[in-house]
Amino acid sequence: MPDLLNDILFLFQRLTWLSLLDLVLVTLVFYIILMIIRDTQAVVLLRGVILLIILLSLLTSMVELPAFSWLIRTTLPSLFLAIPVIFAPEIRRGLERIGRAGSGTLLIRQNNAASQAIQQTIRAVVTAASRLSARQHGALIILQRSDNLEEYIRTGVHMDAEVTPEVLLQIFYPNTPLHDGAVIIAGNRIASAACVMPLSSSGILNRSPERQMGLRHRAALGTSEATDAIAVVVSEESGSISIAHGGRMIRRLDSERLENILLAFYRPVEIPSRPRAWLKRVFTRQRGEPRQEG
């Protein structure tokens, strides 16, 4: 025990600010990697790779096997080179999230006309989703935000139509030519219907209690993983309404909660044109607040 304490004290004595910064950076890198591959099939694959490396290391260190040790030393560098290829989808998804991190926090000024148009579009989507849910008609509605969805719009049938509940109900009516696929809404217009969206590669849906969720839910989740768009999906089996964004899905929504969530995503934020105007507004608000007594 005294030897252990002496060793720990020796390590702390040699610890400097640079070595501490080094440890923090290495920890941050591993944390980011684990966050990128979280909730994906890559976690199982990474666990298997780590287990294999540990077993091979123990085997070569405990038993004298020269030929096998040479083989392991030769193949391990190739395995490390193959890891970026194996985890290419997860790495790409993580880099896309990092690239969208700044754009997601941008404050956007909207005039009254644009705000009313967005609210009208949201009400039409909510009304259509409510009616589709009551009739148990499956639907997938994608609302474009800052990321351009042109590559997915081109996979469907071009429409450029006004967003109304009647149009959405007609598109997703069973056995119609456009019901199988997604509707993409861009610029408060229905850009395209019957679009092919990317499927999710994460294991979130597999771990859910209801595993009967089909391609619509996987496409909704996959779209939210690949872009910053909002996906509204109506289940054909149960009629439940779900919303997906940022690789996460909220299920069993009613029309009121769905509308509140969509309005929260598109709530306009005013940006003062000058910093002086912003400071003036802040101090005016503070002076105008009622004084709390007691």
Q: Tell me the pLDDT of the chain (294 aa) as tens digits.
A: 566 677 777 666 777 788 788 888 988 888 877 776 665 556 666 777 778 778 877 777 777 777 877 877 777 777 767 767 766 666 666 666 666 555 444 444 455 667 788 889 999 999 999 999 999 999 999 999 888 898 899 999 999 999 999 999 999 999 898 988 999 999 889 999 999 998 886 666 655 555 556 889 999 998 988 888 999 999 988 889 999 998 888 988 999 999 999 998 877 544 444 445 444 544 444 444 444 443
Residues 123 and 99 in one domain: no
pTM for this predicted structure? 0.62
Same domain, 121 and 95: no
The predicted pLDDT at position 2 comes to 67
pLDDT at 190: 95
User: Given the structure tokens 């123990």, which residue do they identify?
Assistant: 58
Last residue of a domain, one of 53, 73, 103: 103
- Asked if 179 and 119 sit in the same domain, the reply is yes
Q: Give pLDDT, residue 38.
A: 66
Q: Are residues 137 and 58 part of one domain?
A: no
In a domain, 93, yes or no: yes
Indicate if 136 and 175 belong to the same structural domain.
yes
Residue 30 DSSP label: H
Element spanning 96, H or E: helix 88-104
Residue 285: predicted pLDDT: 46
The reply to whether 97 falls in a domain is: yes
Residue 277 lies in a domain: no
d(CA 146, CA 265): 12
* Together in a domain, 80 and 121: no
* Residue 155: closest CA among 187, 126, 116, 183: 183
Give a yes or no: residue 137 inside a domain: yes
Structural domain harbouring 84: 2-103
Let me know if residue 141 belongs to a domain: yes
Q: Are residues 154 and 132 in the same domain?
A: yes
Q: Based on the structure, what is the number of domains in the chain?
A: 2
Strands of 230-234's sheet in order across: 157-162, 189-195, 182-186, 139-143, 230-234, 241-245, 248-253
CA 190 to chain centroid? 23
Final residue before a domain boundary, out of 103, 128, 157: 103
Cα 15 to chain centroid distance, Å, stands at 39
Domain of 206, CATH number, reads 3.40.1700.10
Exposure string over 158-194, b if 16+ CB within 10 A, otherwise e: ebebebebebbbebbeeeeebbbbbbbbbebebbbbb
The answer to the question of residue 194 being in a domain is yes
Same domain as 240, residue 192: yes
Residues 40, 10 share a domain? yes
What is d(CA 120, CA 118) in angstroms, rounded to the nearest whole number?
5
| Residue at which a domain ends, from 84, 103, 122 | 103
| C-alpha to C-alpha distance for 7 and 112, rounded to whole angstroms | 68
Co-location of 208 and 121 in the same domain = yes
Which of 133, 187, 199 lies closest to 162, judged by CA?
187
pLDDT for res 191 = 95
Q: In terms of domains, do 139 and 95 share one?
A: no
Residues 61 and 197 in one domain: no
